[in-house]
Amino acid sequence: MQDYFYKLADFIDQQLQTNEVYLCDFAAEKSDFVRFNKGKIRQPGSVEQAYINIDLIQNQRHATGKIALSGDMETDTPRITSLLSALREKLPHIPDDPYLLYATEINSSESIASNPLPAANEVINEITRQIQGHEFVGIYAAGGIYNGFANSFGQRNWYSCYNFNLDWSLYYDKDKAVKSAYAGFDWNNASFATKLSEGLEQLEILKRKSRTIKPGKYRVYLSPAALHEILQLLSWGGFGLKSQQTKNSALLRMLADQNLDPSITLTENTQQGIAPNFQSEGFIKPAKITLIEKGIHKSALISPRSAKEYNVITNGANNEEAPVSLDLAAGNLAKADILSQLDTGIYINNLWYLNYSDKPACRMTGMTRFATFWVEKGEIVAPLNVMRFDETLYRILGEQLIGLTQERDFIMDNDTYYQRSTSSARLPGALVDGFTFTL
């Protein structure tokens, strides 16, 4: 697939006219998908697809277009010729783009992963064996993901990775379910069995009579999955230079004088994520960008467009200036001690429907979801009915933070719209005091 993409790039080189520059990025996958419901296979299938996106540039004008590829040169090259012609016709009618910026220095790279994944049928057989007799609902997605970049200056970049993501729930009744995920690069039957066993233990607790508690402030444990929801909301413009300069970032107070707890160090860790280290304008991403260091805002994510607009140097961020490889440093709390440390309070596995209730203050609201438990004297005693929280980031990861766990979960985005996502996060759990519930 890499050779095929490079052949297409060479072909585009030959089609250029005077004063034309092109950038193109390539995205492809070969994936197996299996959907489960009530512990049985309901929809197996596989997807093989490839797309190329071309940005044709003449001075400060540019036009972009995208086509699907067949993998056959005789079929695909006429499509590319047609796309280039269509883009060329648009250029005279497009105004100059004052913030157009792309890499002109050649920084070629190659990252080719081996494929350690077992055959899909081997994994599915093991899953179905272990989930027999359980209300298991989920989807398994696995296979190769491929990304490439090329331009008319001769730069060539290639990236491939192989991973799996099993996103699943154990269902009990109505809104009572235990949600979990098992994702990685090399399937391990014992690891899945451990996660399944943990889920089944929580499922048994869900069968107890649910409890409703009054609104108020409680000590809580936020699992890595719950904390992930909070950081995903924060990622919608929070870390981008453009949103910070236009005062749309939720971190405005942090940019001024308000800090988080000194244990909070948050990075965009491309080196240990699953996304490629290059972006669509040809810039190479640093191995790591420190966003927050010891509770203090350190740097923003800067796309090429923002770099041009604000006269700074880009750090290879995507056009949305959103992180795709978040990494929150581990703390000093042992996961095995979380219940005793929590003592009396709420154990939260999942959150959802998050939004800002006061964006300038970085105040968030949302709902608990799935297995949320009431804990007394270090023991889970009952499931809790759904509750709404309303809290600021500065309390959750600041003044009210007790600590973060030593253990961290590697969370892969389960988004499969258009293609499998390459976003990920590596996060600990968080123990927080005085967490506010309003309903």
R_g over Cα of the chain: 24
* Average pLDDT over every residue of 314-341: 97
Q: Which of 193, 322, 323 is nearest to 267 (CA)?
A: 323
pLDDT tens by residue, 129-141: 999 999 999 999 9
Q: DSSP class of residue 260? A: -
pLDDT tens by residue, 354-367: 999 999 999 999 99
Coil vs helix vs strand at 377: coil
- Give the pLDDT confidence score for residue 369 in this predicted structure: 87
Neighbour count for residue 131 (Cβ, 10 Å) = 21
Residue 219 — very low, low, confident or very high, per pLDDT cuts 50/70/90? very high
User: Residue 139 phi/psi, 5° resolution?
Assistant: -140, 135
| CB-based burial label for 229 (10 Å; 0-12, 13-18, 19+) | buried
Residue holding tokens 């996961």? 335
Torsion of CA 346, 352, 358, 359, to 10 degrees: 120
- Give the pLDDT confidence score for residue 417 in this predicted structure: 87
pLDDT tens by residue, 87-143: 999 999 999 999 999 999 999 999 999 999 999 999 999 999 999 999 999 999 999
Element holding 393 (H helix, E strand): helix 393-394
Model pTM?
0.94
pLDDT over threshold 90, residue 385: yes
Which residue ranges form the domains of the chain, and what is each CATH number? 2-206 (3.30.2290.10), 216-437 (no CATH)
Neighbour count for residue 305 (Cβ, 10 Å) = 20
